[in-house]
Structure 1
Amino acid sequence: MDLFAGVETLPGIGPKRAEILKKAGIRTVRDFFYNLPRDYNNYETPTSIAEMRPGKVAIKGKIDSLSVRQARRRRLSIVEGVIRDGTGAVKVVWFNQSYRMRQFSPEKEYFFTGNFELKNGRYSLISPSAAEVAEIDPRNGLSPIYVAHGALKSHDFRRLIANSRSKFASIPDLLPTVKPGTRKNALFYAHFPNSIKSAQNARDYLAYEELFELILAAKLNRQENDKLKAEKIPFNAAKIKDFVAKLPFQLTGAQRLAAWEIFQNMEKDTPMNRLLQGDVGAGKTMVAALAAYAVALECRQVALLAPTAILATQHYEGLSKLLGAFGVKVALLTGATKQKSELKKQIATGRIDVVIGTHALLTDDTEFQRLSLVVIDEQHRFGVGQRQKLLLKSPSGLAPHLLAMTATPIPRSLQLTVFGDLDVSILNELPKGRQPIATKILTELETRETLYPKIRETLSEKSQAYWVCKAIDDDPRTETTSVKSRCEKLKKVFPGAKIEFLHGRMKPAEKDDIMERFSRNEIQILISTTVVEVGVDVPNATLMVIENAESYGLAQLHQLRGRVGRGSKASFCYLLTPGDNPPSRRLRELEKSTDGFHLAEVDLKLRGPGEIYGALQHGALDLRIATLSDTKLIHRVQADVKEFLKNPENMVKYKELMSGITRYQQITTLN
């Protein structure tokens, strides 16, 4: 079977359906078979309607009296009907699922699974899933539930998979480390389980297979990196020691260790490929400064790439003070730099040691004489192509050493797999004088009596505040307050304060101007979207308010909180929640802990790796089944991958495996 044939070659999939599937990323036969159920309904022992009790129920019956109406609020469509089974009848309701009007035939029996609860004064079955009785295997009563894609709903996928049932027998094995037929059996039982145990066994194997591809990609990346050549940067102990002694502050133990790891890497003739991860405010830039000084001592060049002009300017101001005192020439290159051509001549002739810039560093006419170290700040904001463009500016035949920095702490279990063959340095200490940020969850009802007095206190101390909102503009369909509305409301509450708003749709120059004025304390309260998540340091900002905090992920909340607490003053973060519902676990964890690495582990368990990894690298990890908290399975896969790589013929023999890991190779590399 050709697993890479177009999905339209499968029975029942014409051009229209193929187009819907392709938009969902299901382009090939392989993609289609790996579109696994997200769960299973068990209809083995359905409840009779007469015996239903509030909560989740599974019933069997026929449906009639279907109708659809539009609700006045929020552009909501409501489908209603009645299910009957011989013992009674129950009302059924679906919201924004108009396709249900076309799904059912009054003569056929269906299984329904959903919540039986009180709604508008009467008990109803709310938004249940549905499956035709004739389609369910009577021996086990299991029905797979698929994620809907466009017009194709779960029941459509069940029918399409059933049409291809005979094709599973000819699916070839992918890995050499398993018994023949393991893969086809796993895929078959994932879609057609004969018991819950068979479904779980299928998923266990497919998780193993997925991790095998990921870890193999990471190890191959390491092998490729080790083939490259770089200029050795000798460690000048005396001069580095003198540099550290003259700093106006003490390095933390974590900074000293990270710097030593970098010095050791750069002494080798293979390029360093190191990720420096540090919690917000842990001093990553200082470590980069030490690395840059070591390179400049050897009359070689450093490029530091930052995602925004204002962040590049901040790095320039800090590093020119630190390094300039030791004779290192530092320059700033952004889109707004005047006399660009003259500066580029100085860079090309080696008269500039350290160049800090934005995308302007990537242009073809920006050339270096002897680029030996590339530092990328918030590296997830740059794609593979952009990063490689800078790396290719080193002398012919050589690759520069690479130090990528991220303020998003990576869970240890994620490091073991994705970054298992990458060098990682961790800054898990805050510099002396920094105070932990006190975090408190408040309902919006407590804003006036608790939060407003705190803001007045902050303003009276000549300190500043951030207030983060979800939306830029008001939306009548939601009750979310926009940055513009919140700005107007707070101006009325605090008439003496200078209050402005900031959002991502503003022009870059306008955003930079507002942030610069905020950093000069010309703005006391800045109302913003998450555009401030990564930005300039404003040590005078001591209060962070995050509205609708439940709508953000844990990692993002921690990043936003990290905008305050940058100086020596006590700082505070308030998480606002609507209504009086109890706060989620992630908000409670954030209230208890300021340790980004602990929170990253919690986030991994709560949400899985996709979103977390998406914040670290270009592209999401998007694992279908495997969980990166399963360290036992990870260690087993690592051992099997090691054996696989001992035989070079495997690279040719297992063609599908090798072609399938290309995506993972792009994700698991920094260069």
Structure 2
Amino acid sequence: MIDLRKDVQYVKGIGPKRAEKLNKLGIFTLKDLVYYFPRQFEDRNNLKKIIQLENEEKATIKVIIVGISTSSPRKGMNITKVDVRDETGYAKLVFFNQDYVKNTFRPGDTILVFGKVKKEFKTIEISSCEVEHLTNSPKNTCKVMPIYPLTYGVTNKEIISIIKNVLSDKELKIKEYLPQRIIEKYKLCSIDYAIRNIHSPSSKEALKIALYRIVFEEFLILQLGLFIFKNGVDEACGIKFEENEKLEDILNSLPFKLTGAQDRALNEITQDMNSDKLMNRLVQGDVGSGKTVVALLALANCVLNGYQGALMAPTEILAEQHFISLTETLSEFGMKVELLVGSLTKKQKENVLEKVKNNEVDILIGTHALIEDKVEFSNLGLVITDEQHRFGVRQRNKLSSKGFNPDILVMTATPIPRTLALILYGDLDISIIDELPPGRQPIETIAVDKGKRDRAYNSLVRAEVEKGRQVYIVCPLVEESEAIEAKAAVELVEELKLEYFSDLRVGLLHGKMKASEKDSIMKSFKNKEIDILVSTTVIEVGVNVPNATLMIIENAERFGLAQLHQLRGRVGRGSHKSYCILIYASKSDVCKQRMSIMEETNDGFKISEKDLEIRGPGEFFGTRQHGLPELKVANIFKHMKILKIAQQEARYILGNDHKLQNFENKYIKNEIIDKFEHSLEEISLN
């Protein structure tokens, strides 16, 4: 039997040079290669006549070559045109820089063609063609073809050829690792059958059977890994905090009453903290639902018990905002709050670090700076990470490792449907704050095409400023580059000053500014010294200016729905009626669909479900950033039924064998360790 751990370069037909390219695709071993699954499948089975071809479709035809001609319209470009016919009509195949065609095929040959159809008037052209001579066993047509994720100069044909070569080796047998009981219970095919038929389906039915097996397996392994990790956490002894009457005093000192949802979340947190189990809880709340005050009270509870607390935020603006609100509320109760961010001077940082080490700081708030090796706590009891989707599992664990089993609380304003939250945060208990504070009015959202941009600026912006209100204008998302976005924001400010608002006070905020500059701009905006703040997405998270009542988002189609919802949440934070104007340039159906969703609802959970539906979970949830093994075939949204079955089975398995020590679970245990080895280092199966 062939060892699947074998280095890919020693596989027949690969060698060192090809292996180098495959390495860049994440393929290092024979196992990586056979598990390098197609991203989609192209059905080339449906053989059509020329007369049946539809414009823009991809189709397979059987035709006779009538003639071949070549031309060179410019240097470096050759076009080969092949005239073909069948009994129903004529068509033309077009090839760019593919000289081999005229040397391989001749007039009179019967060929099979798969390609993209373009119909104009009475002419039919087929481009991006796969062409081969008619045989009893065609290679690239008349079958379901796997399409692989490609880059780094490896072609789809190459991957197909390499994998076919590997799977044709009679010594290769992919060993089963799911218990026979599970295979029989869920009518699964063997892993060997699944892998062979996902790469080279013998039929549509065989592909369906193979996909079901792989999807089920991916979900089962993921769920088992997460549940084992969570069980390990649940079994771990945490700090047993005591109830303290002073927490009630802090609660009563707040200028508002907690909502029912905040109260419920706080009770769940204090119950966790007061037990001797380690708390590992996710607080999930929509934009503006008041997660921060719940975090503040949890930190206060920790300090009242004689421990230190830490709060990690993804940006300096958000960290500073938390610092201000916690200091304002807790300083009168004698609690010392400090801030640790990258923009502090070396001397300031050393001073804060010294105080934290000597237990002269009760609560430390900061960015990634909190997980640096230099940070030493005297007595860390509670760790909170805000906007959890910005941090991976490792970062969260690195912060908690600075204490002896401190309780862990993570917060996110990215609403996630509950079942999906169990996948991403399967190691956490979940509290949901699904109620907005009283007095908050829903934000009226209006989507307009760019032709109405002038009207939005000349009437709406001016109307709000005349009422004494303030306005955000969000610069379009250019690409993942702060430098380019900063440039776009600077240009937008110049345009707005010149064409629309020469008489108003316009400010600018972007990611390339120094933290002190950002802080200064936000203070000016909060103090009503700026009428209009032009910003990149740095204001997406947590910025709180109750007097801002209008947000205009340029090129709104470039943002995901969840991000648009986050941005919109910067207005509507006071008692005044607030508006969000989405200016879009695209005319696509998807764009219109997304804009209408934003107009219809302010419910972040509904929006997140729609976002998943439209964009798919890959983009919405890159599982890698959460430290979880990648789902190669399983789709959290599309395969929800299989996910639920796999979750139930995972619970059943661990209910009977929580360390997977029974003989029948031996191989699945190895698979979990293999899949999670680069992710959850704390996973314990020994």
**Is the TM-score greater than 0.5?**
yes
Give the letter aligned to residue 411 of structure 1.
P
Cα distance change of structure 1 residues 195 and 451 upon mapping to structure 2, 3 Å threshold? farther
Structure 2 CA distance, aligned partners of 1:612 and 1:139? 34
Q: Deviations over 1:185-242 (max 9, x none)?
A: 0111112222212111110110001001110110111122134322211223x43333
Q: Secondary structure at the match of 2:550?
A: strand
Counterparts of 1:553-632 in structure 2, within 5 Å, are 553-578=560-585, 580-582=587-589, 583-614=591-622, 617-618=625-626, 622-629=630-637, 630-632=639-641
Counterparts of 1:305-320 in structure 2, within 5 Å, are 305-320=312-327
Match of 1:540 among 527, 543, 547: 547
Q: Which residue of 2 aligns with 1:637?
A: 646
Q: Which residue of 1 aligns with 2:276?
A: 269
Structure 1 CA distance, aligned partners of 2:30 and 2:568? 45
Cα distance change of structure 1 residues 400 and 459 upon mapping to structure 2, 3 Å threshold? same
Q: Is the 8 A contact 1:263 1:291 kept in 2?
A: yes
Give the letter aligned to residue 311 of structure 1.
L
Q: Deviation of residue 418 (structure 1)?
A: 3.5
Q: Which residue of 1 aligns with 2:672?
A: 658
Q: Is the 8 A contact 2:416 2:608 kept in 1?
A: yes
Q: Deviation of residue 252 (structure 1)?
A: 0.9
Q: Deviations over 1:447-469 (max 9, x none)?
A: 12345321221222231222221
Give the letter aligned to residue 34 of structure 2.
F
Give the letter aligned to residue 303 of structure 1.
A
Cα distance change of structure 1 residues 362 and 631 upon mapping to structure 2, 3 Å threshold? closer
Structure 2 CA distance, aligned partners of 1:131 and 1:289? 69
Q: Which residue of 2 aligns with 1:426?
A: 432
1:240 and 2:243 aligned: no
Q: Deviation of residue 486 (structure 1)?
A: 2.3
Q: Which residue of 1 aligns with 2:203?
A: 195
Q: Is the 8 A contact 1:136 1:142 kept in 2?
A: no
Q: Deviations over 1:483-535 (max 9, x none)?
A: 33322221122111233444334444444444443333333333333233225
Q: Which residue of 2 aligns with 1:353?
A: 362
Q: Give unpaired runs (5+ residues) of structure 2.
A: none
Q: Secondary structure at the match of 2:414?
A: coil
Q: Is the 8 A contact 1:609 1:623 kept in 2?
A: no
Q: Which residue of 1 aligns with 2:330?
A: 323
Cα distance change of structure 1 residues 644 and 447 upon mapping to structure 2, 3 Å threshold? same
1:208 and 2:216 aligned: yes
Q: Secondary structure at the match of 1:149?
A: coil
Q: Secondary structure at the match of 2:502?
A: coil
Structure 2 CA distance, aligned partners of 1:494 and 1:362? 44
More moved, 617-626 vs 146-155: 617-626
Cα distance change of structure 1 residues 548 and 637 upon mapping to structure 2, 3 Å threshold? same
Cα distance change of structure 1 residues 83 and 434 upon mapping to structure 2, 3 Å threshold? farther
Give the letter aligned to residue 454 of structure 1.
L
Q: Deviations over 1:343-385 (max 9, x none)?
A: 4333223232222223343344432221101111123333444
Cα distance change of structure 1 residues 616 and 150 upon mapping to structure 2, 3 Å threshold? closer
Q: Which residue of 2 aligns with 1:170?
A: 173
Structure 2 CA distance, aligned partners of 1:522 and 1:615? 42
Structure 1 CA distance, aligned partners of 2:217 and 2:178? 7
Q: Is the 8 A contact 2:130 2:141 kept in 1?
A: no
More moved, 264-273 vs 493-502: 493-502
Structure 2 CA distance, aligned partners of 1:91 and 1:263? 73
Give the letter aligned to residue 671 of structure 2.
L
More moved, 78-87 vs 460-469: 78-87
Counterparts of 1:440-479 in structure 2, within 5 Å, are 440-462=446-468, 463-471=470-478
Q: Which residue of 1 aligns with 2:308?
A: 301
Q: Secondary structure at the match of 1:666?
A: coil
Q: Secondary structure at the match of 2:47?
A: coil
Q: Is the 8 A contact 1:58 1:114 kept in 2?
A: yes
Structure 2 CA distance, aligned partners of 1:470 and 1:422? 33
Q: Is the 8 A contact 1:276 1:426 kept in 2?
A: yes
Q: Deviation of residue 597 (structure 1)?
A: 0.9
Q: Is the 8 A contact 1:466 1:541 kept in 2?
A: no
Counterparts of 1:52-451 in structure 2, within 5 Å, are 52-60=53-61, 61=63, 65=69, 81-82=81-82, 84-86=84-86, 89-91=90-92, 106-107=104-105, 109-118=111-120, 124-125=125-126, 127=128, 136=138, 141-167=143-169, 170-176=173-179, 177-178=182-183, 182-236=190-244, 238-335=245-342, 336=344, 339-394=348-403, 398-451=404-457
More moved, 78-87 vs 224-233: 78-87
Give the letter aligned to residue 434 of structure 2.
N
Structure 2 CA distance, aligned partners of 1:128 and 1:529? 43
Q: Deviations over 1:416-449 (max 9, x none)?
A: 3333452011111111121111112111112123
Give the letter aligned to residue 178 of structure 2.
L
Q: Is the 8 A contact 1:271 1:400 kept in 2?
A: yes
TM-score by length of 1: 0.87
Aligned length: 653
Structure 1 CA distance, aligned partners of 2:529 and 2:163? 62
Q: Deviation of residue 317 (structure 1)?
A: 1.0
More moved, 128-137 vs 566-575: 128-137
Q: Is the 8 A contact 2:80 2:98 kept in 1?
A: no
Structure 2 CA distance, aligned partners of 1:565 and 1:70? 58
Cα distance change of structure 1 residues 339 and 642 upon mapping to structure 2, 3 Å threshold? closer
TM-score by length of 2: 0.86
Q: Is the 8 A contact 2:424 2:623 kept in 1?
A: no
Q: Deviations over 1:543-570 (max 9, x none)?
A: 2222222222221221222222222222
State the Cα RMSD in Å: 3.5
Structure 1 CA distance, aligned partners of 2:78 and 2:559? 28
Structure 2 CA distance, aligned partners of 1:102 and 1:319? 71
Cα distance change of structure 1 residues 507 and 49 upon mapping to structure 2, 3 Å threshold? farther
